[in-house]
Amino acid sequence: MAEPSEATPPIPIVGGTGALGYGLALRWAKAGVPVVIGSRSAERATEAAGRLREAVPGAEVDGMQNEEAAQRGPVVFLTVPFRAQSENLNNLRGALSAEQLLVDCTVPLAAAVSGKATRSLGVWQGSAGQQAQEMVPDDVRVVAALHTVSAPTLNKSDAKLDEDVLLCGDRREDKAKVARLIEMIAGLRAVDAGPLETARIVEQLTPLLISINSRYQAHAGIRITGLPAGDHWA
């Protein structure tokens, strides 16, 4: 587990009142990382930030509208459902600035159009991650990640995590920055899964895991075996 430093900037979470976003905020707050919970509603964001401070006394957390939240840190996490991805990215175009990283956690599940969560939708660009890259300003880069981590497990602060997070992005240094943040959450290890175009494969693991977990009544994740020991991001 990577340790935060005094210089660790806040992590903005767009859609931070949802299950995945709030679960990530909870885990980072427990690790001593400052977070900014974003929402379409400033009131909902403020309420979620209050709940988080109650759950983690001393947590450094703010709540604000998504566009304001996105300006608070260099690495922004987008944790909204697929049906809300385009709307949120359109709204963020004026808020995101040069050299920021956007971590897209979106999965194009058929549930977005009243279909089954065990099925996925086709995305013209190839993946939700590639669609995000097309929609953000030209000088903002996208890393796709966190498609296979269970939101219910994240939200149970005493639940143990022991799984890998597959990162897809076109620049290794971008993925390294995201990996450092992810590995501040105990039990998560970041694995380089290749360029952003690989997100079209990784995103398909989510409906597969939903199907498996439904059968086993579990919240299983992904673990890549046989990797060499040590810090892969040094």
Q: Which residues contact 219 (CB under 8 A, 6 or more apart)?
A: 150, 152, 153, 213
Tokens matching residue 77: 């996490």
Q: Position of tokens 């885990």?
A: 27
Tokens of 201: 């494969």
Instruction: Compute how many other C-beta atoms are within 10 angstroms of the C-beta atom of residue 210.
Output: 18
Pairing of strands 101-104, 141-144: parallel
pLDDT in tens, the chain (234 residues): 777 766 789 999 999 999 999 999 999 999 999 999 999 999 999 999 999 999 999 999 999 999 999 999 999 999 999 999 999 999 999 999 999 999 999 999 988 888 888 898 889 999 999 999 999 999 999 999 999 999 999 999 999 999 999 999 999 999 999 999 999 999 999 999 999 999 999 999 999 999 999 999 999 999 999 999 888 888
Kindly give, in sequence order, each residue whose CB lies less than 8 Å from that of residue 229, ignoring residues fewer than 6 positions away: none
What are the Cα distances from residue 172, in Å, to 98, 122, 192, 194, 214? Answer: 18, 27, 8, 9, 35
